[in-house]
Chains A and B, each alone.
Chain A
Amino acid sequence: MTANAGGPRTVSKAETDDHRSEPTEDDAPLGSPRVADPVIKSRDLDVYYGDEQALHGIQMEIPERKVTALIGPSGCGKSTFLRSINRMNDLIDIARVEGDLRFHGKNVYDEDVDPVALRRKIGMVFQKPNPFPKSIYDNVAYGLRVQGKDDDVDEQVHTALERAALLDEVEDQLDSSGLDLSGGQQQRLCIARAIAPDPEVILMDEPASALDPVATSKIEDLVEELAEEYTVVIVTHNMQQAARISDKTAVFLTGGHLVEFDDTNKIFENPESERVEDYITGKFG
């Protein structure tokens, strides 16, 4: 915990009276429910790629053990925001992050935070399934091994596969290559790999966008179940998916602004912002 972690919010630029006005840079999004005990809290988060600013003053509080969906048109910065949570943006040379992103109150961009340690607490699942060219078993065990959690690997691998709803399908072929699985199975394998070392948060960047409807619905069921134990942040292009599986929804709009963030029901039934309503009803985006 750093000194100002629990301090009062800066009110100077954010709070305006007129709630229907569109937010300007650095504004809190419309909605912005109070989240008791947020796991992740971003304040005035700006991300730049070179000279291009991809995110503008993002304010968001992500609740524990809930599914938070990030939606918005292509290029609005959803993936960028997701990657700034576990500092995967560090791997992009030209990316630069300013502002605060707090995990349990600690700014993950502080000098004394090791991004490797951070990623051990915040796992990630990518858009395209990316299993290693290793056996199913070794894929799931990989996180355990790099993190040195390698006593009782067998049991942890089985638990992870079970939680990822994959164990029944692969139980007797754990030694065969992860690449021999179907796309949907590969994605669940990647989910198993992400949860095996038991992180607190799982970030998912359009985990079902490369999958057929059946595989997609399996992933959706899985996400809901995962939220019983983990905090899930999921990017999706699919409105129905966001509506079905998430508790909170954040709507980013073009230019990298978080326009509205609220309970999913509220966003889909009665959004504050007209632009969000237009986007959700498919008028643009």
Chain B
Amino acid sequence: MSTSNPFAEGTEDIARKRLIGRVFVAICFASTLVGIVALVALIVDVLYESWGWVTWEFLTYPPSQVIENFLPGGRGAGIYPAIVGSIFLIALTAVFTVFLGVGAAVYLEEYAGDNWLTSFIEANIANLAGVPSIVYGLLGLAIFVRGIQLGSSLIAGALTLTLLILPIVIVSTQEALRAVPDSQRQAAYGVGATQWQVIRDVVLPRALPGIMTGTILSLSRAIGETAPILMVGAATSLFVAPDGLTSPFSAMPMMIFEWATLPEPEFQHVAAAGIVVLLTILLLMNAIAIFIRNRYDPRS
């Protein structure tokens, strides 16, 4: 025994555990693969369907019920009013959420005392983040469209989307604020800064990348939402772009939904073209989020 391998004991056990480890890796890898394959298949399918349909005319013309108008040589038809509608909608939503979301998060995190009421509010905000978007649509319909008589307008849509993403923005902003190291706050308090100065000079700049990332990711969720703006009464096909807060509006997901339900098979290509435009805008927004995070990170 003494001359043989001193590590012989227990090797079987180690081999078995290692095998379990390999199986585990295989399962994890398969899971990753499923996700990636599904995503790639989706994108490839959409690109294939829309190939040749995303033209300059498609981006700059109002929609049409007649498929010939979408074809080369036709009168020209596209998604223009919905693009403008979506961009206005998101811009307005961004303004509302930044003020309300960041304001609420700063209050809860920096000013509110550590009492049961604060915990209660925070727990409820977290719960609200999980409420289905159609419920927010109903709420928006009741409050903004009917309650305060905004009608099926751009602003009613934006307020509804704001309600939808506000909980997520508040929670992610709170997290960003919490991640600011205490040593930084103490440094500022230590030289005689007031709480407001500490928040303005130290906490917010440091948390800004996190706040922006959370906000932009929420906004890119909002831009793809169909249910709430459907409830609020966004138009399915509108021929002019909205030109004011109270004008009726259409949005890209609505438009795509509308085309997808039309009977002529060619409209599937139009819908796919709409999806490509929507995805491109989404990707752009996410890219901006990453850029801002890197650019404005005070530590770099």
A interface residues (Cβ-Cβ under 8 A, vs B): 86, 88, 91, 93, 116-117, 119-120, 123-126, 128, 130-134, 142-143, 146-147, 179, 190, 193-194, 196-197
> Does A119 lie within 8 Å of B189, measured CB to CB?
yes
Nearest-CB residue, chain A, relative to B194: A116
Bound together, the chains give a CA A128 to CA B184 distance in angstroms of 11
Bound together, the chains give a CA A130 to CA B202 distance in angstroms of 12
> Does A146 lie within 8 Å of B190, measured CB to CB?
no
Task: Decide if B197 is an interface residue (CB 8 Å cutoff).
Answer: yes
Given A119-B190, A120-B192, A147-B191, A134 and B298 contact (CB-CB distance below 8 Å): yes
Residue from A86, A130, A179, A197 having most chain B Cβ neighbours under 10 A: A130
Q: Which of B92-116 contact A (CB under 8 A)?
A: 114
Given A93-B114, A132-B202, A124 and B188 contact (CB-CB distance below 8 Å): no
Q: How far is the CB of B230 from chain A (nearest CB, A)?
A: 45
Q: Which of B182-237 contact A (CB under 8 A)?
A: 183-194, 197, 201-202, 205-206
Chain A residues, Cβ within 8 Å of B185 = 91
Contact of A132 among B187, B192, B194 (CB under 8 A): B187
Q: Could you list 9 examples of A-B contacts with CB < 8 Å?
A: A88-B190, A91-B186, A119-B189, A123-B190, A125-B190, A132-B187, A133-B205, A133-B298, A142-B193
> Does A124 lie within 8 Å of B202, measured CB to CB?
no
B interface residues (Cβ-Cβ under 8 A, vs A): 114, 181, 183-194, 197, 201-202, 205-206, 298-299
Contact of A147 among B181, B192, B201, B299 (CB under 8 A): B192
Bound together, the chains give a CA A125 to CA B183 distance in angstroms of 11
> Does B191 lie within 8 Å of A146, measured CB to CB?
yes
Bound together, the chains give a CA A125 to CA B186 distance in angstroms of 10
> Does A146 lie within 8 Å of B299, measured CB to CB?
no
Contact of A130 among B184, B298, B299 (CB under 8 A): B184
Chain A residues, Cβ within 8 Å of B191 = 119-120, 123, 142-143, 146-147, 193-194, 196-197
> Does A86 lie within 8 Å of B190, measured CB to CB?
yes
Number of residue pairs spanning A and B whose beta carbons lie under 8 angstroms apart? 68
Q: How far is the CB of A92 from chain B (nearest CB, A)?
A: 10
Contact of A142 among B194, B201, B206 (CB under 8 A): B201
Q: How far is the CB of A51 from chain B (nearest CB, A)?
A: 16
Residue from A120, A143, A190 having most chain B Cβ neighbours under 10 A: A143
Given A132-B202, A133-B298, A133-B299, A146 and B183 contact (CB-CB distance below 8 Å): no
Q: How far is the CB of A73 from chain B (nearest CB, A)?
A: 24
Chain A residues, Cβ within 8 Å of B187 = 126, 130-132, 190, 193
Chain A residues, Cβ within 8 Å of B189 = 88, 91, 119
Chain B residues, Cβ within 8 Å of A133 = 205-206, 298-299
Bound together, the chains give a CA A194 to CA B184 distance in angstroms of 14
Bound together, the chains give a CA A143 to CA B188 distance in angstroms of 8
Chain A residues, Cβ within 8 Å of B190 = 86, 88, 119, 123-126, 194
Could you list 16 further interchain pairs (A-B, Cβ under 8 angstroms) beyond the known A120-B191, A126-B190, A146-B192? A91-B189, A119-B192, A120-B192, A123-B190, A124-B190, A130-B181, A130-B183, A130-B187, A132-B188, A133-B206, A133-B298, A134-B298, A142-B191, A146-B191, A179-B299, A197-B192
> Does B186 lie within 8 Å of A146, measured CB to CB?
no
